[in-house]
Amino acid sequence: MNSTGLDAQEWFSNMSTHYDLEGRVAVVTGAAGGFGAAISQRLRDCGATVVHWDLPGALKDGSFGDLPHAGVDISDAKSIGAAAINLQRQFGRLDILINNAGIVGSVAPLWEIPVEEFRRIIDINLFGSFLVCRALVPLMIETAKKNRFGRIINVASIQAKEGMHQAAAYSAAKAGLVAMTKSLGKELATADILVNAITPAASMTAMSIDAPKERLDDILSRIPMRRFLEPAEVANMVAWLSSSECSFSTGAVFDLSGGRATY
């Protein structure tokens, strides 16, 4: 709680700036919880039509109601392809893509990580974003030809910059996502599509809340601001990056680490 009597998440949400995304169509992967849910809500609040992508099992509770959504496994090219076809049929355009879906995977020294587990972490955190971009960027290019607007935001991690002990696969995957962001940003620079990444520190979402207390204490000790990141803070930065207010940044990496990384 703070002096306003609000919890941190609510306070940061109330402090949000409104960006005009009226008429924009966005896809958010990993939209059912954590950063994805906060980002989706923020984009909707700014007027965007958000198509929520997540694993079929994550969508079963009906929490999206009548909101556009699709069960998509981002490690499966066929699953993504089918969802991309449905997206084009239903909306005929795509203005904003948020590659948010990811997993931490095993917490263990590199030499103890099973080969298939290492591959799974790379597949979901890096290869999955490649597959999503490969399927959706052509539609974004066609949309941008008409509207001169497109935004891709890749949710990487502070571990992409620093690495993290007992998280070699996750760190490597997120570092690869940063590099892919830089390359794709250059490739789309003249297509009116900006491509950027964010590198958030840990947040108390489902992705990390079950981690051992010792590991959470270790992670918190590395953050100079001495608190965990709030999902609303991620959503606020993504909203700006998704808007016309962000107009001359592409292939860039935006820090959300509370001072853990200063570059």
Q: 23, 150, 29: which is closest to 95 by C-alpha?
A: 150
Q: Which residues pair with 152 in a beta bridge?
A: 97, 195
Q: Which residue has the tokens 């250059």?
A: 186
> What HEC string does 103-147 produce?
CCCCCCCHHHCCHHHHHHHHHHHHHHHHHHHHHHHHHHHHHHHHH
Q: What positions carry a catalytic annotation?
A: 170
Which two three-digit tokens encode residue 24?
């924009």
How far are the Cα atoms of 44, 123, 144, 160 from residue 111, in angstroms, in the given order? 43, 19, 45, 19
- ∠ Cα 2 257 99 (to 5°): 110
Strands 194-200 and 151-155: parallel
8 Å CB contact between 93 and 21 = no
Task: Label residues 160-180 b or e (16+ Cβ within 10 Å = b).
Answer: bbeebeebbbbbbbbbbbbeb
